[in-house]
Amino acid sequence: MKKTVYEALNWASSFLRSHGLEEPAGEWLLRHHLNTNRAALLASFHDEVRDDVWLAFKADVETLTSGIPVQHIIGSESFYGRIFNVSGDVLIPRPETEELVQAVLERLKGTERIVDIGTGSGAIAITLQLESPHTEVTAVDVSEKALNVAKENAKTLGAKVRFKLGDLCRPVKGEYFDVIVSNPPYIPVGDRASLAEQVREYEPELALFAGDDGLAVYRRLALELHEYVHDGSLIALEIGAGQGSAVKQLFQKQFPKATIEVRFDINEKDRIVLIDVRL
């Protein structure tokens, strides 16, 4: 029996709801299989779905019960209005990180040298370069597989980003930056069991966990970033909810003259730390 777009969506919503999964994933998958946007999908509710498309769509919806993120099935995620390729080698870009990008963009004059530490999919570095084209952006990651994803995204989106493989800032030793931005791993190892299965089982551990309290990478950054900043540099960090005070303390100790702001995200959770460096 042929199904309309509406019937296919209705089936997916019911199926996902009965398995305790997020219903919007059904719409994302159908848009993917029909190669269409949301407005066109909603306008085609009474159109019939081809049998081959229906079978492929149905199989992918059922695959979601295994815990695999819908972004890994589709192979992409939207970030700051652009589509980024993703895989199990990188963290799936999240809306909270868009707020970090916006906070940095508010401070840019347009000619800064920027380094993105732990770039993953390249979402931060690529977005900053495309939104402020006269900046010089470098992206660093310790994972070669992650860098390959980021390089592909930069090529697809036409971003001029320099990529470096290595741990934190070590690949750019001897260089100074006007802006250092990072969304490092910040989840305590002990919180592993409380994470959603899609995150725990399918996203890279290297990008998620940071010691017993989630602050391990921030400690290293606070100690090491002196070598890469000058008076007036900006350090912009994404943090886990509830870590604002601790991260501010770590950086205030190492940069006693700095002005440090903890910003809350749209959900009223502390999410961004901005350090205006004074030496």
Q: Is 122 labeled as ligand-binding?
A: yes
Q: Is 184 labeled as ligand-binding?
A: yes
Reported as a pLDDT band with limits 50, 70 and 90, residue 184 is: confident
Reported as a pLDDT band with limits 50, 70 and 90, residue 198 is: low
Contact 264, 238 (CB under 8 A): no
* Dihedral of alpha carbons 223, 260, 114, 231, sign: negative
Q: Residue 141's beta-bridge partner residues?
A: 165
In tens, the pLDDT along 211-220 reads 567 788 898 9
CA distance 148 to 150: 5
Inform me whether the pLDDT recorded for 183 exceeds 70.
yes
CA distance 87 to 18: 27
Calculate mean pLDDT across residues 11-35: 92
At residue 192, the pLDDT reads 55
Q: Is 26 labeled as ligand-binding?
A: no
In tens, the pLDDT along 223-249 reads 999 999 999 999 999 998 888 999 999
Calculate mean pLDDT across residues 46-60: 93
Q: Is 51 labeled as ligand-binding?
A: no
Inform me whether the pLDDT recorded for 205 exceeds 60.
no
Inform me whether the pLDDT recorded for 203 exceeds 70.
no
Of 205, 242, 237, the closest CA to residue 221 belongs to 237
Q: Is 119 labeled as ligand-binding?
A: yes
Q: Is 24 labeled as ligand-binding?
A: no
Reported as a pLDDT band with limits 50, 70 and 90, residue 189 is: low
At residue 230, the pLDDT reads 96
At residue 266, the pLDDT reads 87
Question: If residue 272 lies in a helix (H) or strand (E), which one and from where to where?
Answer: strand 270-276
Lowest mean pLDDT among 53-67, 197-211, 259-273: 197-211
- Which residue did the predictor score with more confidence, 197 or 44? 44
Inform me whether the pLDDT recorded for 207 exceeds 60.
no
- Using a CB cutoff of 8 Å and minimum separation of 24, what contacts does 249-252 make? 250/215, 250/218, 250/219, 250/222, 251/218, 251/222, 251/275
In tens, the pLDDT along 245-276 reads 999 999 999 999 999 999 999 889 999 999 99
Quote the tokens at residue 247: 């991260």
Quote the tokens at residue 151: 């390089």
CA distance 93 to 154: 15
- Which residue did the predictor score with more confidence, 246 or 193? 246
DSSP state of 209: B
Q: Is 65 labeled as ligand-binding?
A: no
Quote the tokens at residue 212: 């017993």
Mean pLDDT, all residues of the chain: 89
Q: Is 121 labeled as ligand-binding?
A: yes
Phi–psi pair at 196, nearest 5 degrees = -60, 145
